[in-house]
């Protein structure tokens, strides 16, 4: 059981790249049945060994000057905090199917499997699903989506809801709505059949 908001968002991936990759957004198909794509933050930092003197290295400079030495990239008084850090930041979109789980960590060994962002046009983001209303077919509000629960294959297993009528019916502080074919995601709302509600009140 993997909670998308708690576990996936912000999760750092294992990759064969020198870049640091972390999950920024998770996307689902329109029916909210499966994770389809991940938007990853990509950050790459490299140290530039340009000779930029450390502001605390005056004594070393004077010592080298006094000895008649010459400054080279090897002996110039540069410390890590003064090296020029070049950050290459951006984001990439990858298919969830191109990832694999290694214990509790996601792995992406081939960054070249990036896809175009146009694939997201008909997908649903976790950001749009989070706090979506959960209603019966008759319009009765049961609560709002608080978390999406998936398995490692990306299949949506259920939704955790915030407090509301659903919470009161189940007498639970953390009501859980199991996903099945009768639960639909339409126009930004989660719709359950009326008899689903009735079965809870019996």
pLDDT in the model for residue 67: 61
Q: How many CB atoms lie within 10 A of CB 82?
A: 16
Task: Tell me if 134 sits within 8 A of 40, measured CB to CB.
Answer: no
Rounded average pLDDT per 10-residue block, the chain, 202 residues = 93 86 96 95 68 54 61 54 56 93 86 87 95 89 92 95 66 76 91 72 46
Q: How big, in percent rounded to 5, are the helix, strand and coil portions of the chain? A: 25, 40, 35
Query: How far, in whole angstroms, is CA 173 from its chain's centroid?
Result: 26
**How far is CA 196 from each of CA 81, 193, 199, rounded to the nearest angstrom?**
60, 5, 5
Give alpha helix (H) positions in the chain: 58-66, 126-129, 165-170, 194-201
Question: Quick one: tokens of 34?
Answer: 């499966």
pLDDT in the model for residue 44: 78
pLDDT in the model for residue 54: 53
Task: Render 117-178 in DSSP notation, one character per residue.
Answer: GGGGGG-EEHHHHTT-EEEETT--EEEEEEEEEE-TT-BEEEEEE-SSHHHHHHT-SS-EEE
Question: Quick one: tokens of 198?
Answer: 């009735």
pLDDT in the model for residue 110: 77
Q: What residues does CATH 2.30.30.240 cover in the chain?
A: 130-201
pLDDT in the model for residue 85: 45
Q: Structurally, what CATH architecture does the domain formed by 130-201 represent?
A: Roll (2.30)
pLDDT in the model for residue 83: 44
Tokens 């010592």 correspond to 63
């Amino acid at each position: 059981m993997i909670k998308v908001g708690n576990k996936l968002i912000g999760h750092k991936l294992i990759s064969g790249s020198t870049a640091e990759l972390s999950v920024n957004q998770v996307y689902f198909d329109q029916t909210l049945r499966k994770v389809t794509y991940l938007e990853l933050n990509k950050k790459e930092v490299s140290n530039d060994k340009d000779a930029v003197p450390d502001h605390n290295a005056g004594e070393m400079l004077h010592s080298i000057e006094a000895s008649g030495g010459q400054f080279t990239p090897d002996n110039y008084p540069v410390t890590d905090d003064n090296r020029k850090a070049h950050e290459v930041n951006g984001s990439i979109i990858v298919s969830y199917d191109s990832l694999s789980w290694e214990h509790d960590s996601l792995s992406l060994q081939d960054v070249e499997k990036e896809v175009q962002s146009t694939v997201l046009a008909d997908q649903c983001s976790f950001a749009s699903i989070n706090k979506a209303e959960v209603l019966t077919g008759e319009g009765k509000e049961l609560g709002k989506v608080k978390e999406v629960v998936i398995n490692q294959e990306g299949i949506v297993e259920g939704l955790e809801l915030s407090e509301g009528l659903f919470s009161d019916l189940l007498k639970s502080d953390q009501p859980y709505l199991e996903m099945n074919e009768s639960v639909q995601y339409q126009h930004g709302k989660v719709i359950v059949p009326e008899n689903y509600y009735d079965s809870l009140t019996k």
